[in-house]
């Protein structure tokens, strides 16, 4: 890959070293469990195709996901394993498939300890102490001293296997509340033997692993340690502890430190919004860089930083010497070609992560395989786009996410595509939903889709509203209806009053609201609209009929959204159903059938969307090929719209 002279990402693209390992640039793919392995934890073709695609994009170092070292340490149903010598063949295929693209490859070795369930491990859950993880809620059995020593050896055997499989380095998972972190942290380690006690004693397990690994593999095999700069839980490890730990790890022979933070229980604390670096769009990225910077001050080995870091931010971090390598996880899932695009100066072509946490970590925590909301190819890299057998004239009606994605994919395959959009903006619901500043991360996705369809030669006609007649007149070979959704209109008296508006119109600035606002519906749209209005100084109340606000938001993003609502003093009323809009507010019925009267100057409807299907119904039987994608099938989120569009784009 040729690099432009004076590239603005010069530092990111500069080679670096970890121990004696030469790495072609400073971009690292951090470990991310995909759940693509076989149920036995072996390497699958899907996993190889996926990682080869990442490596082909120009990343310097790939750290293969958390790989369990014993069956008892398994944390996910289809997690990759390195428990036996039988795993070496598949792992060596995986390592080769990454290395042949010029990337270096490490593997993260992992034991979940208490952060799993017996349903996943098939056996009892074990940990340093019998303290349950508040997320998994299973009381682990405390390991005996003998078992702890055995576990040290299990780590050593896993490293030996990784080396035999051809990995260039190994990363020990000492963070995120898994077993090594459980030994280090006072929250999870109450042992009275030599593996528990003060910080020095709690470090014994980690240090023994490092010493034994170095003994077994020699000083030259690079060892990375992933550590928490902060546990982000009450009484957990702090940066002061982390600094001491870092010094001891390096003295024991660790070649690089990968600084992150948080445990599973951190997710339950809405004030901590960057557990594992997985910041959502509601908070700025790069929240863990300060921790890496602090660690870097006390060690001489390279430090990797992580957590919502864009290439622009990464370049600045390197420029200021705050870290030595930049891990970009979700960003590389979304666009594996990111490093190559930086090198070629094609920055506007990078598809950006919107930090929704829906497709990747949200699905993983539901024990599903990882996908991505804005890249439908993630996990399906083996299914290459097939050029159109016979190029067709395709008409896409609607320029929202699903419509643009269908147009993009169909055009990529060689079809001649025209897109009609009735408004003056592309993006569909992304237009209004990206208005709040805290939703800025989704704007680049809208812009990327719009620029890609144009670059691919899609003829985009704005302000063009379709009718069955105009579609038939255009006589396309295939029609994709992507007419989206509109605000649901329920049978509630008073909706026609002048102080009632839809969330969509309010966000777009089409309707002004008064100082006291009731937002009807506390799902994603209602919550975000409420936060947006409250930020403008309005007194906002959400009225939600379910027992929970933001019930449709993934746990990894929900804390930050709830914090945003709380910080802006949004009142949240649940189990309350609107029965009438009055001249002075609303009447609402609670679970006990009591009627409450709530005062407001404006009532904003965010209680759901309804599919717009009329055109599709009219076109049935009148055009040679007819498809429907996105919200007009069923109102859903960005990920489903992207997948719909992609799928139809591949079959036309």
> Which residues share a beta bridge with 481?
397, 628
Q: Which residues have a Cβ under 8 Å from the Cβ of 539 and sit 6 or more positions away?
A: 515, 516, 517, 569, 571
Using the minimum distance from each CB to ligand SF4, give the nearer residue, 233 or 561: 561
350 binds ligand FMN (CB under 6 A): no
In terms of Cα–Cα distance, which of 303, 261, 302, 256 is closest to 278? Answer: 261
178 part of the active site: yes
Contact in structure between 357 and 280 (CB atoms under 8 Å): yes
Q: Which stretch binds ligand SF4 (CB under 6 A): 165-173, 177-185, 355-363, 541-549?
A: 355-363
Residue selected from 204, 233, 318, 361 as contacting ligand FMN according to rule CB under 6 A: 361
Which residue's Cβ lies closest to ligand FMN?
329
Q: Which of 36, 51, 178, 445 is catalytic?
A: 178
Using the minimum distance from each CB to ligand FMN, give the nearer residue, 60 or 649: 60
For the CB of residue 280, give the shortest distance to ligand SF4 in the complex, in Å: 8
> Which residues share a beta bridge with 107?
64, 170
| C-alpha to C-alpha distances, 424 to 400, 576, 610, nearest whole angstrom | 12, 38, 22
Residue 646 host element (H or E): helix 638-651
Cα maximum dimension of the chain:
82
Q: Which residues have a Cβ under 8 Å from the Cβ of 592 and sit 6 or more positions away?
A: none
Contact in structure between 337 and 605 (CB atoms under 8 Å): no
Number of shown-chain residues binding ligand SF4 (CB under 6 A): 14
Buried b (16+ CB within 10 A) or exposed e, 85-94: eebbebbbeb
How many residues belong to the chain? 652
Which stretches does DSSP call E strand in 30-77?
61-68
**Beta 416-421 vs 539-543: how paired, if at all?**
unpaired
Interface with ligand FMN in residues 237-266 (CB under 6 A)? 260
Using the minimum distance from each CB to ligand SF4, give the nearer residue, 635 or 639: 639
For the CB of residue 442, give the shortest distance to ligand SF4 in the complex, in Å: 9
649 binds ligand FMN (CB under 6 A): no
> Which residues share a beta bridge with 417?
394
Residue 257 host element (H or E): strand 256-261
- Of ligand FMN, ligand SF4, none, which one sits near residue 176, judging by CB under 5 to 8 A according to partner kind? ligand FMN
- Of ligand SF4, ligand FMN, none, which one sits near residue 356, judging by CB under 5 to 8 A according to partner kind? ligand SF4
Residue selected from 330, 413, 446, 643 as contacting ligand SF4 according to rule CB under 6 A: 330
556 binds ligand SF4 (CB under 6 A): no
For the CB of residue 94, give the shortest distance to ligand FMN in the complex, in Å: 15
Using the minimum distance from each CB to ligand FMN, give the nearer residue, 309 or 507: 309
For the CB of residue 334, give the shortest distance to ligand SF4 in the complex, in Å: 5
Buried b (16+ CB within 10 A) or exposed e, 560-593: bbbbbbeebebebbbebbbeebbeebbbbbeeee
For the CB of residue 311, give the shortest distance to ligand SF4 in the complex, in Å: 14
66 binds ligand FMN (CB under 6 A): yes
Using the minimum distance from each CB to ligand FMN, give the nearer residue, 176 or 643: 176
374 binds ligand SF4 (CB under 6 A): yes
User: Per-residue string for binding with ligand FMN, 320-349, x by CB under 6 A?
Assistant: -------xxxxx------------------
Task: Report the catalytic residues.
Answer: 178
Contacts to ligand FMN by CB under 6 A: 30-33, 65-66, 108, 173, 175-176, 226, 260, 276-278, 306-309, 327-331, 360-361, 364, 370
Contacts to ligand SF4 by CB under 6 A: 330, 333-334, 353-360, 372-374
């Amino acid at each position: 890959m040729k690099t432009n002279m004076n590239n603005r990402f010069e530092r990111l693209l500069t080679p670096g070293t970890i121990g004696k390992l030469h790495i072609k640039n400073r971009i690292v793919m951090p470990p991310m469990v995909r759940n693509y392995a076989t149920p036995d934890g072996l390497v699958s073709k899907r996993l190889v195709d996926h990682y080869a695609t990442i490596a082909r994009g120009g990343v310097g170092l790939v750290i293969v996901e958390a790989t369990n070292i014993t069956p008892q340490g398994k944390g996910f149903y289809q997690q990759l394993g390195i428990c036996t010598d039988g795993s070496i063949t598949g792992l060596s295929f995986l390592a080769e498939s990454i290395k042949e693209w010029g990337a270096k490859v490490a593997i993260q070795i992992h034991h979940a300890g208490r952060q799993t369930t017996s349903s996943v491990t098939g056996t009892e859950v074990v940990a340093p102490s019998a303290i349950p993880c508040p997320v998994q809620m299973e009381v682990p059995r405390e390991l005996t001293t003998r078992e702890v020593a055995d576990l040290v050896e299990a780590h050593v055997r896993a490293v030996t296997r990784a080396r035999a499989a051809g990995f260039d380095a190994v990363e020990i998972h000492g963070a995120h509340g898994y077993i090594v972190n459980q030994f280090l942290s006072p929250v999870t380690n109450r042992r009275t033997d030599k593996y528990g006690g003060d910080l020095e004693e709690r470090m014994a397990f980690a240090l023994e692993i490092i010493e034994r690994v170095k003994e077994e593999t020699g000083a030259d095999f690079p060892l990375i340690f992933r550590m928490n700069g902060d546990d982000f839980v009450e009484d957990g490890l702090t940066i002061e502890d982390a600094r001491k730990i870092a010094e001891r790890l390096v003295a024991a022979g660790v070649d690089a430190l990968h600084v992150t933070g948080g445990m599973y229980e951190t997710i339950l604390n809405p004030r901590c919004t960057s557990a594992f670096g997985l910041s959502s769009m509601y908070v700025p990225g790069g929240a863990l860089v300060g921790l890496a910077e602090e660690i870097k001050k006390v060690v001489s080995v390279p430090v990797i930083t992580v957590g919502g870091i864009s290439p622009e931010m990464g370049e600045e971090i390197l420029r200021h010497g705050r870290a030595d390598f930049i891990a970009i996880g979700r960003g590389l899932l979304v666009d594996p070609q990111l490093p190559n695009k930086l090198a070629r100066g094609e920055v506007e072509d990078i598809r950006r992560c919107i930090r929704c946490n829906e497709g990747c970590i949200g699905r993983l925590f539901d024990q599903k395989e990882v996908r991505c909301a804005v890249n439908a190819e993630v996990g399906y890299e083996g299914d290459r786009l097939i050029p159109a057998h016979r190029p067709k004239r395709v008409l896409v009606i609607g320029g929202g996410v699903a419509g643009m994605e269908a147009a993009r994919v169909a055009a990529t395959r060689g079809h001649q595509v025209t897109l009609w959009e009735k408004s003056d903006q592309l993006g569909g619901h992304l237009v209004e939903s990206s208005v709040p500043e805290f939703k800025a991360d989704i704007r680049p996705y809208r812009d990327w889709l719009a620029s890609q369809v144009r670059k691919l030669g899609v003829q985009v006609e704005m302000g063009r509203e379709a009718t069955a007649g105009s579609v038939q007149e255009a006589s396309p070979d295939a029609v994709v209806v992507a007419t989206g959704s509109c605000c649901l209109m329920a049978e509630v008296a008073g909706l026609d009053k002048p102080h009632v508006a839809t969330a969509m119109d309010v966000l777009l600035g089409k309707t002004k609201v008064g100082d006291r606002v009731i937002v009807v519906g506390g799902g994603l749209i209602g919550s975000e609209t409420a936060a947006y209005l409250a930020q403008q100084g309005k007194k906002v109340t959400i009225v939600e009929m379910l027992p929970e606000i933001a019930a449709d938001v993934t746990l990894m993003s929900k804390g930050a959204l709830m914090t945003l609502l709380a910080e802006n003093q949004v009142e949240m009323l649940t189990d309350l159903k609107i029965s009438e809009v009055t001249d002075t507010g609303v009447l609402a019925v609670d679970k006990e059938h009591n009627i409450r009267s709530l005062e407001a100057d404006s009532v904003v409807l965010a209680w759901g969307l309804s599919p717009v299907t009329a055109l599709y119904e009219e076109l049935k039987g009148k055009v040679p090929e007819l498809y429907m994608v996105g919200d007009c099938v069923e109102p859903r989120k960005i990920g489903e719209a992207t997948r719909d569009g992609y799928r139809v784009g591949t079959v036309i």
